[in-house]
């Protein structure tokens, strides 16, 4: 079983962000790494509006045994929220958070259309941080878009956040596991930069 | 709301003249066929917006567009300021043949450009579809190709905006009464805007106007009549008919059939003779047969500038002039007063009881005097304007 | 997708629900698959097409779902196992064929998967199409979880072939688009030899003609098959029971509701009181199995999404056998224990079940829930849907909106199905005023265009995409032309089925497997029908507007077609290759002032344009900008400037 123990069973992780940020890709990669360790994994995701700037969420559920699990995590049952966009984390907490939830957050906002158009306000960093701190047990903020940009593309934030999440949640998953999960699903020329981003995310999170 | 005021109080209320003053300022309004349309909705307020500020059918203060009463030049409530009253026509018969009547307007316009009264002139251009579109003319030679009247609305004032955008600083405009009112309103609010939009207006040549026809029903009628392409149209004096010259020949039809096509907004118009122009030109009314009469214009000279300008045209020999027959001015006054009285009645009916009076600003201290002068049967109070 | 055709029995792979369905078909020896793209079904054919040559399959994106069923049926008639896949609407589109296919029967196993969308995530309906099974007398399987979906599909093929009957399989978004771990089975290497036998006796299922007549005899045969199926389903391995032998309350569930019911019981720790009968074969129902489980409980709670299909069947069944089963109390949709619309989930079922069992369900502490709700309300602005940066539809609808407004004759747009349905929202200037099925925009337009004699003088525009044109738009267009309807049809040709992921359609020169195909020319087809046709590039706003205004037409003018051609911004040919570098010149930008009033961000609303509140200027986000250059044409002050970019071929 590769030595992965779960702090809870089923263990529930929600990855969230905005369409186009690579949320679906990240959830698949996480699930693949865990499945490769012999765990039973499900992903529930909302496609549809993913390419049009809408909110996107993927629910990853992990268990040691094969069992019937709803692909959608029940209310209040998220153990971790991994957010590529901080406002989306807040939205997720309203449905799935609890005082026990922990979070890894990319601090880069992606503004909704109404904000871009100057009709609505995006909350200030402070207000958003205060909300998220009050609604979680722990919240780790990282500049993952910055890390990704330094590696050549803001799109790499999705792999970087996985690295950070793996480090923070104590999953014993390495760059090697990331390699195995990625090698068949992305073009070869993108492999190296994604692995680098994974590793950079891990290090940024203190691994 | 700038645009919302227009939408609720002008367009949807059937008051829009189609003058074009609100068009071409921004992407929110457009002109198509003979109507202004809201294309997208704008959220600016009346204080910020130019469209409502310029519109002659929204919050119009007569005192502001006419300016303070002046002693020079007799001012009549029916016809506005009058410095001179003549019959005139182009000396060149070739030009007259192409013009609506005597070609006075075309001559004056060409001269304005040639003599540097204006760098560009805004005239009504005709499109294939019969719809009108303002055209900018800067060479005197081109003027003649815009001669002749079409009795539909032209968004001429939007051409003034276009000329300003193109960088012209001295712009002449051929304007119907509503268009002349819009230009006067632009002048009166000019200070409110950083770029002083009224400053570029150098001369306004007015066209008399009784009403305009709505384009769509008129086109349908043309189709029914099998007229083909419309070449010219006119209202021969005293005949109660409409002349339509198409490429299949001339038709003279009873006007009754066209009356329902008169643009709704024209029923609320207070001006027949383009009172706010420097010079106003209409068809002549004489005792001669129509064939002769139509080759003359009656001309009202209004401003000092207009007077100087007109004299120059006569001196240069491009205009022939003669005195108007006796009683002609009185007849014109009577007609103009009748139009004003009808419009005030229509406005009263539209706005119902209470102090509101359509597009006229009732705070205007000048308004009661004006109403009294017009509504008092027959009486002509000198100096009301 | 290597794992899809990995012949490595026992290995576990993470599959999308739709991939599990595809794998099931492959393990069953599939030969032919046909589909029409539609969320949430598209990935079934997409993944099969990817492995088509390696697995020696024939796969195609058919022109519509009816033809997909026909293509699949032909394979089955010739002895090749086949699959037709579609979203829920497709079953309705193809139902006429299916009605007859039920009677003619099939030969090699034929499975029809329809993926439904409870909650209407990516549909404009919430169809529950299960009644087709009863109506057409065809067996119905409902998939409940990714892990078992593959097995069910395999069984569906076997049963179809054994009973010579097409099998309907229902998936839903939460299954098709969920992923799970699947244990791979062996991949057969069938030797396929297609032959169509047709010279035997008409009622001979193997040698006769495949015809739905003589109707009474064929129906009798069909009903015999159903009786056999009923018996077969008693032993069906994926009709499962969980819970105590004699529960107080029995939950009966199908589809993903099985998972919700299971987890709800678990979350309420109610396995002592409640049992769960999870059914895969919901038509015809296995009567012995039902009797065995329905005897003990006094209460039966039916958990299903859509209409009360299972609930009604069970009520009828219990009424029929009340002597044996006794009085029951039924809970479900009919009396409101479960909501009548929308999706279910664990919480909805748990709450309902808690109510029924007298338990309480509070998954989140109240204080936390209200704090979270307040923070979201105060600080989380909604994300409105918008066309992508560089989307041709924004440009097209901008011109349509302008032309309609200028024309001023109360014109409106009959919409159709595709990304462009967003034109009912501010994203598309709210011009779409009717929206129904594929091709219906043009059918409705054809009808509106004949109302002139009743005084109707509004202009009618219909829009449809290139894929929709072929799907069902064409008959509607022919109808309009033939009947001289007063219609302006705008075809938004973005060169692919963009909404569902760029599947090819008959207008393109390649097929589902990426091989060369005959491209059918839309313009040529329209001309041949007899419509007046113009073609323009929607990015040329002035020209498009001019054409539209000129084509608005007069009463009784007949059909005009405007084809607006520009590939989708996300299409492989355009993605990452902007035509222009675009920037706002701050010194020129009018911002909020009269003359602009933030036209680009407030009205045009390309997501790559944003309003800088502090500077009070518009800006271009160069990460998001697709470089289409359209905004430079709409800026009233010329502040948006574009510089042409050159890309190496
Ligand atoms: C809508 C309309 C109604 C009129 N009603 C009357 C009336 O009731 N009584 C009367 O005496 N005269 C009326 N006239 C004026 C008359 O038709 C002649 O324009 C006028 O006599 C000048 O003749 P002209 O030969 O000097 O003009 P021309 O030398 O032929 O020049 C005509 C000028 O008028 C402009 N013009 C043409 N059509 C329009 C239009 N639709 N809107 C704005 N400008 C236009 C052209 O650009 C051109 O510059 C009307 C004119 C219009 C346009
Ligand atoms: S307020 Fe200004 S920007 Fe708005 S519609 Fe009027 S003129 Fe245009
Ligand atoms: S009257 Fe003139 S300014 Fe007023 S709304 Fe009509 S066209 Fe615009
Ligand atoms: S449309 Fe042009 S002028 Fe107006 S806000 Fe945008 S960039 Fe500035
Ligand atoms: S060029 Fe303009 S309209 Fe096109 S994607 Fe960029 S910002 Fe949007």
Give the ligand 5 atom nearest the CA of C632.
2
Cα torsion through B155, B160, B163, B167, rounded to 10: -150
- Ligand 4 centre from C619 Cα, in Å? 9
- Ligand 3 centre from B342 Cα, in Å? 21
pLDDT at C163 over 90: yes
Mean pLDDT of B321-337: 94
Superfamily designation of domain C392-565: Thiamin diphosphate (ThDP)-binding fold, Pyr/PP domains (3.40.50.970)
Q: Mutate which of C541, C570, C620, C640 to test ligand 5's pocket (most atoms within 8 Å of Cβ)? A: C620
C573: pLDDT confidence band, cut at 50, 70 and 90? confident
Count Cβ atoms below 10 Å from residue B213 Cβ, excluding itself.
Answer: 21
pLDDT at B381 over 50: no
Distance of CA B278 to the CA centre of its chain: 12
Residues of C in contact with A121 (CB under 8 A): 381
3-state secondary structure C170-223: EEEHHHHCEEEEEECCCCCCCCCCCCCCCCCCCCCCCCCCCCCCCHHHHHHHHH
* Nearest residue (CA) to ligand 4, atom 1: C635
Residue that wins the pLDDT comparison between C419 and B39: B39
Give the ligand 1 atom nearest the CA of B109.
49
* Nearest residue (CA) to ligand 2, atom 1: B49
pLDDT of residue B71: 56
A33-47, C145-159, C489-503: range with lowest mean pLDDT: C489-503
Q: CB C408 to CB B32 under 8 A?
A: yes
Question: What does the DSSP 8-state code read for residue A60?
Answer: E
Place of tokens 């002083």: B196
Count Cβ atoms below 10 Å from residue C336 Cβ, excluding itself.
Answer: 10
Q: What gap in Å lies between CA C254 and CA B204, rounded to an integer?
A: 81
Superfamily designation of domain C2-233: Thiamin diphosphate (ThDP)-binding fold, Pyr/PP domains (3.40.50.970)
Where does CATH 3.40.50.920 sit in chain C? 241-357
pLDDT of residue B98: 93
Helices (H), chain B: 2-6, 50-54, 62-66, 93-98, 104-114, 156-165, 177-189, 215-225, 290-293, 304-315, 328-351, 367-375
Q: CB B32 to CB C597 under 8 A?
A: no
Mean pLDDT of B221-231: 88
Residues of C in contact with B217 (CB under 8 A): none
Using CA coordinates, name the residue in chain A closest to C621.
A116
Q: What gap in Å lies between CA B238 and CA B260, rounded to an integer?
A: 19
Could you tell me which of B9, B86, B112, B83 has the C-alpha nearest to residue B52? B9
Residues 386-405 of C with CB under 8 A from B: 401-402, 405
Cβ–ligand 3 distance for B6 under 6 Å, the answer yes
SS3 B380: coil
Instruction: Label the pairing between strands B74-76 and B279-283.
Output: unpaired
Candidates B25, B38, B42; nearest CB to C405: B38
**Are C and B touching by the rule of 3+ CB pairs within 8 Å?**
yes
Distance of CA B96 to the CA centre of its chain: 21
What is the complex's ipTM, to 2 decimals? 0.95
Tell me: the pLDDT tens digits for C458-475? Answer: 999 999 999 999 999 999
C648: pLDDT confidence band, cut at 50, 70 and 90? low
Q: CB B50 to CB C549 under 8 A?
A: no
Structural domain boundaries of chain B?
3-63+338-375, 73-213+264-334, 215-261
Tell me whether A146 touches chain C (CB under 8 Å): no
pLDDT at A187 over 80: yes
Mean pLDDT of B234-262: 90
C419: pLDDT confidence band, cut at 50, 70 and 90? confident
Residues of B in contact with C408 (CB under 8 A): 32-33, 35, 37
Most confident of C74-83, C622-631, C637-646: C74-83
Smallest CA–CA distance, residue A194 to chain C, in Å, is: 19
- φ/ψ of B191, rounded to 5, equals -65, -25
Kindly state the percentage of chain A with pLDDT values over 90: 76
pLDDT at B382 over 50: no
SS3 B381: coil
C68-74 long-range CB contacts below 8 Å, 24 or more apart? C68/C34, C68/C35, C68/C36, C68/C94, C69/C34, C69/C94, C69/C97, C69/C98, C69/C101, C69/C112, C70/C97, C71/C32, C71/C34, C72/C32, C72/C33, C72/C34, C72/C110, C72/C112, C73/C97, C73/C101, C73/C106, C73/C110, C73/C166
Which pTM was predicted? 0.94
Tell me whether C430 touches chain B (CB under 8 Å): no
Kindly state the tokens that stand for B36: 């202004």
* Nearest residue (CA) to ligand 2, atom 8: B26
Mean pLDDT of C169-190: 96
Tell me: the pLDDT tens digits for A58-74? Answer: 999 999 998 899 999 99
Q: CB A40 to CB C607 under 8 A?
A: no
Kindly state the tokens that stand for A16: 């969230």
Provide the β-strand partners of residue C251: C276, C301
Domain C241-357 class, CATH top level: alpha beta
* Nearest residue (CA) to ligand 5, atom 6: C625
Most confident of A11-25, B348-362, C432-446: C432-446
| Average pLDDT of the residues of chain C | 95
Q: CB C180 to CB A71 under 8 A?
A: yes
Q: What is the CATH number of domain B73-213+264-334?
A: 3.40.640
Residues of B in contact with C401 (CB under 8 A): 39-40
Instruction: Give domain A11-204's CATH number out of 3.30.1300.30, 3.40.920.10, 2.40.50.100, 3.30.365.10.
Output: 3.40.920.10
Kindly state the percentage of chain C with pLDDT values over 90: 91
Mean pLDDT of A137-152: 96
Q: Mutate which of C629, C634, C635, C639 to test ligand 5's pocket (most atoms within 8 Å of Cβ)? A: C629
Mean pLDDT of C339-351: 97
Tell me: the pLDDT tens digits for C71-110? Answer: 999 999 999 999 999 999 999 999 999 999 999 999 999 9
pLDDT of residue B168: 97
Strand order across the A40-45 sheet: A138-142, A102-106, A80-83, A11-18, A55-63, A40-45, C178-183, C12-16
* Nearest residue (CA) to ligand 3, atom 7: B18
Smallest CA–CA distance, residue B32 to chain C, in Å, is: 6
Tell me: the pLDDT tens digits for B102-147? Answer: 999 999 999 999 999 999 999 999 888 899 999 999 999 999 999 9
Count Cβ atoms below 10 Å from residue C113 Cβ, excluding itself.
Answer: 32
SS3 C427: helix
pLDDT at C575 over 90: no
Tell me: the pLDDT tens digits for C444-458? Answer: 999 999 999 999 999
Where does CATH 3.40.50.970 sit in chain C? 2-233, 392-565
Mean pLDDT of C574-601: 94
Contact A68, C259 (CB under 8 A): yes
Residues of B in contact with C549 (CB under 8 A): 32
Mean pLDDT of B71-87: 85
pLDDT at A2 over 80: no
pLDDT of residue B260: 95
Residues 13-72 of B with CB under 8 A from C: 25-28, 30-33, 35, 37-40, 42-44, 48-51
Rounded to whole angstroms, what are the CA distances from C315 to C256, C297, C329? 21, 14, 10
Cβ–ligand 1 distance for B214 under 6 Å, the answer no
Instruction: Label the pairing between strands C532-536 and C559-565.
Output: parallel
Kindly state the tokens that stand for B359: 């597009």
pLDDT of residue A185: 83
pLDDT of residue B384: 37
- Ligand 1 centre from C2 Cα, in Å? 80
Candidates C122, C174, C386; nearest CB to A53: C386
Residues 539-578 of C with CB under 8 A from B: 549
Residues of C in contact with A28 (CB under 8 A): 14, 179
End-to-end distance of chain A based on CA atoms, in angstroms? 22
Beta strands in C193-325 (DSSP E): 240-242, 249-254, 274-279, 281-283, 299-303
pLDDT at C383 over 90: no
- Ligand 3 centre from B58 Cα, in Å? 8
pLDDT of residue B380: 47
Instruction: Label the pairing between strands B29-32 and B35-38.
Output: antiparallel
Q: What gap in Å lies between CA C384 and CA B104, rounded to an integer?
A: 60
Which ligand neighbours the alpha carbon of C599 most closely? 4
Q: Which of B32, B52, B164 to mutate to test the interface with C (most CBs of C within 10 A)?
A: B32
Q: CB C258 to CB A71 under 8 A?
A: no
Which ligand neighbours the alpha carbon of B153 most closely? 1
Q: CB C405 to CB B50 under 8 A?
A: no
Would you call C641 exposed, middle or buried from its count of C-beta atoms within 10 A (0-12, 13-18, 19+)?
middle
pLDDT of residue A3: 59
C580-644: CATH topology is Alpha-Beta Plaits (3.30.70)
A100-109, B372-381, C144-153: range with lowest mean pLDDT: B372-381
């Amino acid at each position: 079983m590769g030595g992965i123990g779960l702090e809870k069973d089923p263990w529930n992780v929600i990855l969230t962000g905005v369409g186009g940020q690579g949320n679906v890709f990240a959830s698949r990669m996480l699930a693949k790494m865990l499945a490769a360790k012999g765990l039973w994994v499900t992903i529930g995701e909302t496609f549809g509006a993913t390419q049009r700037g809408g909110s996107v969420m993927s629910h990853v559920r992990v268990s040691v045994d094969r069992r019937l699990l709803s692909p959608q995590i029940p209310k209040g049952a998220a153990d971790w929220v991994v957010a590529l966009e901080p406002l989306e984390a807040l939205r997720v907490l309203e449905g799935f958070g609890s005082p026990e939830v922990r979070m890894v957050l990319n601090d880069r906002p992606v503004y909704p259309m109404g904000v871009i158009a100057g009709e609505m306000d995006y909350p200030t960093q402070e207000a958003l941080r205060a909300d998220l701190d009050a609604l979680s047990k722990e919240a780790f903020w990282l500049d993952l878009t910055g890390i990704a940009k330094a590696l050549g593309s803001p799109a790499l934030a999705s792999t970087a956040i996985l690295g950070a999440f793996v480090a923070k949640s104590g999953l014993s998953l390495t760059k090697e596991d990331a390699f195995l999960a990625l090698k068949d699903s992305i073009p070869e020329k993108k492999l190296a930069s994604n692995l680098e981003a994974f590793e950079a995310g891990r290090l940024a999170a203190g691994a | 709301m700038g645009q919302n005021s227009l939408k609720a109080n002008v367009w949807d209320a059937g008051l829009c003249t189609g003058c074009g003053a609100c068009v071409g300022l921004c992407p929110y309004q457009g002109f198509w066929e003979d109507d202004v349309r809201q294309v997208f909705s704008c959220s600016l307020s009346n204080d910020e917006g130019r469209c409502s500020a310029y519109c002659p059918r929204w919050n119009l203060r007569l005192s502001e567009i006419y300016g303070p009463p002046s002693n020079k030049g007799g001012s009549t409530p029916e016809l506005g300021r009058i410095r001179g009253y003549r019959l005139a026509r182009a000396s060149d018969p070739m030009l007259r043949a192409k013009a609506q009547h005597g070609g006075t307007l075309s001559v004056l316009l060409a001269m304005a450009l040639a003599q540097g009264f204006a760098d560009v002139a805004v005239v009504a251009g005709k499109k294939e579809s019969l719809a009108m579109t303002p055209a900018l003319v800067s060479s005197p030679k081109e003027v003649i190709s815009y001669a002749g009247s079409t009795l539909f609305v032209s968004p001429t004032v939007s051409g003034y905006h276009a000329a300003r955008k193109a960088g012209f600083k001295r712009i002449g405009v051929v304007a119907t009464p509503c268009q002349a009112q819009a230009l006067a309103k632009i002048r009166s609010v000019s200070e409110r805007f950083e770029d002083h939009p009224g400053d570029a207006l150098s001369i306004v040549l007015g066209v008399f106007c009784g009403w305009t026809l709505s384009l769509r029903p008129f086109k349908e009628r043309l189709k029914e009549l099998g007229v083909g392409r419309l070449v010219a149209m006119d209202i021969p004096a005293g005949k109660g008919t409409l002349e339509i010259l198409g490429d299949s020949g001339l038709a003279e039809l009873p006007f009754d059939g066209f009356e329902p096509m008169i643009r709704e907004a024209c029923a609320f118009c207070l001006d027949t003779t383009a009172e706010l122009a420097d010079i106003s030109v209409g068809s002549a009314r004489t005792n001669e047969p129509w064939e002769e009469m139509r080759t003359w214009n009656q001309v009202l000279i209004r401003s000092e500038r207009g007077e100087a300008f007109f004299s120059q045209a006569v001196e240069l020999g491009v205009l022939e002039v003669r005195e108007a027959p006796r009683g002609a001015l009185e007849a014109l006054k009577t007609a103009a007063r009748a139009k004003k009285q009808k419009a005030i009645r229509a406005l009263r009916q539209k706005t119902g009881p209470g102090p509101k009076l359509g597009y006229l600003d009732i705070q205007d201290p000048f308004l009661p005097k004006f109403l009294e002068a017009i509504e008092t049967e027959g009486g002509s109070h000198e100096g009301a304007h | 997708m290597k794992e899809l055709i990995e012949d490595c029995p026992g290995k576990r792979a993470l599959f999308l629900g739709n991939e599990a369905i595809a794998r099931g078909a492959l393990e069953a020896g599939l030969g032919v698959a046909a589909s029409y793209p539609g969320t949430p079904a598209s990935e079934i054919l997409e993944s099969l097409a990817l492995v088509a040559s390696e697995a020696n399959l024939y796969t195609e994106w058919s022109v519509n779902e009816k033809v997909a069923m026909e293509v699949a049926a032909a394979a089955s008639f010739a002895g090749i196992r086949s699959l037709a896949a579609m979203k829920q609407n497709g079953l309705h589109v193809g139902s006429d064929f299916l009605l007859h296919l039920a009677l003619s029967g099939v030969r090699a196993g034929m499975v029809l998967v329809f993926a439904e969308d409870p909650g209407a995530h990516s549909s404009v309906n919430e169809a529950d199409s299960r009644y087709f099974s009863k109506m057409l007398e065809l067996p119905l399987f409902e998939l409940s979880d990714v892990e078992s979906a593959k097995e069910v599909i395999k069984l569906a093929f076997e049963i179809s072939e054994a009973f010579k009957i097409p099998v309907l399989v229902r998936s839903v978004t939460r299954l098709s688009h969920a992923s799970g771990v699947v244990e791979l089975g062996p991949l057969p290497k069938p030797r396929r030899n297609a032959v169509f036998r047709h010279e035997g006796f008409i009622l001979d299922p193997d040698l006769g003609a495949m015809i739905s007549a003589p109707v009474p005899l064929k129906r009798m045969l069909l009903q015999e098959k159903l009786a056999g199926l009923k018996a077969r389903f008693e032993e069906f391995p994926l009709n499962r029971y969980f819970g105590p032998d004699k529960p107080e309350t029995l939950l009966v569930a199908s589809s993903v509701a099985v998972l919700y019911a299971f987890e709800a019981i678990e979350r309420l720790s109610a396995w002592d009181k409640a049992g769960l009968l999870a059914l895969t074969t919901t038509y015809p129902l296995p009567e012995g199995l039902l009797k065995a489980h329905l005897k003990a409980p006094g209460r039966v709670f039916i958990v299903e999404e859509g209409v009360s299909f299972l609930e009604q069947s069970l009520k009828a069944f219990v009424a029929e056998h009340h002597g044996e089963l006794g009085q029951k109390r039924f809970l479900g949709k009919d009396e409101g224990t479960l909501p009548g619309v929308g999706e279910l989930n664990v919480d909805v079922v748990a709450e309902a079940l808690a109510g029924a069992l007298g338990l309480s369900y509070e998954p989140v502490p109240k204080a936390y829930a209200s704090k979270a709700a307040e923070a979201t309300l105060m600080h989380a602005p909604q994300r409105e849907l918008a066309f992508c940066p560089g989307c041709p539809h924004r440009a097209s609808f901008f011109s349509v909106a302008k032309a309609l407004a200028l024309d001023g004759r109360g014109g409106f747009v009959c919409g159709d199905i595709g990304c462009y349905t967003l034109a009912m929202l501010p994203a598309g200037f709210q011009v779409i005023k009717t929206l129904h099925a594929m091709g219906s925009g043009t059918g409705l337009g054809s009808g509106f265009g004949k109302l002139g004699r009743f005084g109707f003088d509004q202009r009618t525009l219909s829009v449809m995409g290139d894929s929709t044109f072929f799907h069902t738009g064409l008959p509607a267009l022919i109808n309009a032309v033939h009947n001289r309807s007063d219609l302006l049809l705008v075809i938004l040709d973005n060169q692919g089925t963009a909404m569902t992921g760029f599947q090819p359609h008959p207008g393109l020169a390649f097929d589902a497997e990426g091989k060369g195909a005959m491209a059918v020319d839309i313009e040529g087809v329209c001309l041949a029908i007899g419509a007046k046709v113009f073609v323009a590039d929607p990015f040329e706003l002035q020209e498009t507007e001019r054409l539209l205004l000129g084509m608005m037409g007069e009463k009784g003018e007949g059909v005009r077609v405007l084809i607006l051609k520009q590939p989708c911004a996300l299409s492989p040919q355009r993605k990452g290759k902007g035509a222009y570098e675009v920037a706002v010149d701050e010194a020129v930008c009018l911002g909020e002032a009269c003359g602009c009033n933030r036209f680009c961000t407030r009205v045009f609303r390309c997501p790559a344009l944003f309003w800088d509140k502090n500077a009070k200027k518009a800006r271009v986000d160069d990460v998001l900008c697709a470089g289409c250059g359209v905004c430079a044409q709409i800026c009233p002050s010329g502040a948006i400037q574009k510089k042409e970019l050159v890309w190496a071929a």
